[in-house]
Homo-oligomer: A and B are copies of this chain.
Amino acid sequence: MKPTIYDVAKGAGVSIATVSKVINNLHVGKKSKEKVLKVMKELNYKPSVLASALAGKPTSTIGFLLPDLANPFVAEMARRVEDRAHERGFNLVICSTDFDSEKEALYVSLLRQKSVDGFILAGSFKNVEVIKELLEEHVPVVLLTESYPSLSVSSVKVDDFIGGYEVASHLISLGHEKIAVIAEDANSSQERIRGYKQALQDKGLAIYEDMIVTSDSSSEDAERVAGELLDASDPPTAIFAANDKLAICVLHAARERKLSIPDDLSVVGFDNSVLSKSTDPSLTTVGQPIQDMCSQVVDFLIEEIEGKSTTKQRLVMLPQLIIRKSTGVCRLKNKI
């Protein structure tokens, strides 16, 4: 059997209380301490987190809910969160929710039964009721990549509005006037679209609502929707995809139609995920400071867990337009 605190106590000739104290770095006589430490090493003793947690200590594990781990951008965030969490002595239980309200509720409930110390909710978390409940019951929660204006919850995200604004401005500066948008049904996407519209408006361009379409998170659907956009009688000269994954679907749809990029069509993505670097032409996209954002969410959450800070904070970081090869001068302007 694995050694317990009793084995150590017996081996060191002290009480379990003393052993507990050296485990938790409380004041213990030097001699006892050394003896205990020695025995712990000999027995290769490791305290049970289960037991200490049951007795009131934290479990040092964080529940991390995200839309889909298979999405490379999400996976990269997960890795950054994981790294920072480990640095701070925490482990991550990861659950993919697929933007499904019920899964969200289920996983939160499950993880609470397992006594995680807190939650990081990433992506567009649908189930606001669940967030409210967590807040009411004082379970530490932090949102990543989104924020709820009406909820008093800490969050870290990029300024999606500006991101969308810059994308549209870039495209407009290249002479594009008919710029379509393809997005998923996420809050962040809506913000990006708002930014895009603002830029159009600022430049005195018309906004075509029918060129702003939504796709679910499957690649098939995205390609279909992109195709419809391209097959229109008066197709757009540029498409702004609300994330890189969608942008690649647009690329595929364009390729199928023998459209050359960026000559026939400019495409912009969002996220600057690994995907955007490997496509050809490489994708113009909007970079998010993933590392910093993830580091910050973890720190915010841990602050709450440790009760060091009770003030909620919303951190908004600035995105950066990364111009690569998928955008170019509008072909119409070009011909004139």
Measured CB to CB, the residues of A under 8 A from B are 46-51, 53-54, 59, 61, 68-72, 74-76, 78-79, 82-83, 86, 91-96, 109-115, 248, 251, 255, 274-275, 278-281
Contacts and interface: CB of A to CB of B under 8 A. Distances in A.
5 contacts: A49-B114, A50-B53, A70-B76, A255-B280, A275-B278
A50 B46 contact: no
Contact of A69 (B61, B82, B111, B113): B82
A296 B27 CA distance: 50
A292 to B, nearest CB: 16
A223 to B, nearest CB: 11
A109 B68 contact: no
Given A54-B51, A94-B82, A70 B75 contact: yes
6 smallest CB-CB distances across A and B, nearest first, come from: A75-B75, A280-B280, A70-B79, A69-B79, A72-B72, A49-B114
A171 B114 CA distance: 52
A78 B94 CA distance: 10
Given A69-B79, A69-B82, A72-B274, 4 more contacts: A54-B54, A72-B275, A82-B96, A251-B278
A204 B194 CA distance: 63
Nearest to A77: B70
Contacts of A51: 54
A274 B244 CA distance: 12
From A71, A86, A280, residue with most partner B Cβ within 10 Å? A280
Contact of A275 (B61, B70, B114, B274): B274
Given A53-B50, A75-B69, A79-B70, A110 B91 contact: yes
A109 B69 CA distance: 25
B94 A92 contact: yes
Contacts of A70: 75-76, 78-79, 274
B79 A112 contact: no
Contacts of A114: 49-50, 59, 61, 91
Contacts of A74: 75
Contacts of A281: 280
A110 to B, nearest CB: 7
A96 B71 CA distance: 17
A210 B3 CA distance: 52
A290 to B, nearest CB: 10
Contacts of A280: 251, 255, 279-281
A300 to B, nearest CB: 21
Contacts of A76: 70
A49 B278 CA distance: 44
Given A61-B93, A70-B76, A82-B69, A48 B113 contact: yes
Contacts of A82: 69, 94-96
